[in-house]
Structure 1
C-alpha cells in the first residue's frame, strides 16, 4: 500500500511540481491550499507525512505544525517545511514546533524525495 503525503502550499505551481515528483516515486498525494484547508482534510484518511510551506494566508505553516501536533492521530506524523524562508530563526521556530526537515525553495525534486524517503519509507 502506498503512503499518503499531504502538500500544503498556496502556490498551485509548487503543489504541482511536488505532486508530480511524489506520484512518480509511488506516493499518494493530497493537496491543501493553506493550514486551515490542511487541517480539514486530515480527517479524511491517514496521512503519513506533511510537506508544508511556511508563508500562507489563513494559517501559516508553523501554526499548522503546532495544530497538527495537538491531534492524537497525527502527533508523530513527520512534517517537512518547504519554503523560501532560509532564516535560522524561522528554522528554529519550525523545529521547536515539531518540523522534522527544512527544504528551501527553489528545490530539486530528488532532494525533496530524499528527505521524504528518510522520514517515510515507501
Structure 2
C-alpha cells in the first residue's frame, strides 16, 4: 500500500483533528496515523516537522482483499482511521511526499475553503 503526506509546521493544522497526522520511519513508511498531534513535543523548543495525510491511496488487489478480510483493529476504531488497520496487521504503507498542496473537503468549513479557492483560481 502507498499514500501521500504533506509536511507542515502550521500549528492550526497540527492541532486540527480533521487533519490526520502521520508518524514516519526514516525510510518513509508509516508508523502511526492519528488525529492528535503526534509525536508529542515534550520540549517546546524542539523544531519538528509534522506530516499531514492526504487521503489518496494506491493498493494492489491482493492487499485490498486481505484488508477486507481483517476485523477492524483497535487503533482504527479509536482514531476512526482505517489506515491503522494496515499497520496493526503488519502491512506496510509507503508514504510519498506530495509536491503540491491540496484542499481536503471533510467538513462544511472545508467546502467554503474549496469554493473560495475555485473562485480565485479559474480552471478555464
TM-score calculated relative to the size of structure 1: 0.28
Higher relative contact order (CA 8 A, sep 6+): 2
Which of the pair is proportionally richer in helix? 1
Which of the pair is proportionally richer in strand? 2
TM-score calculated relative to the size of structure 2: 0.28
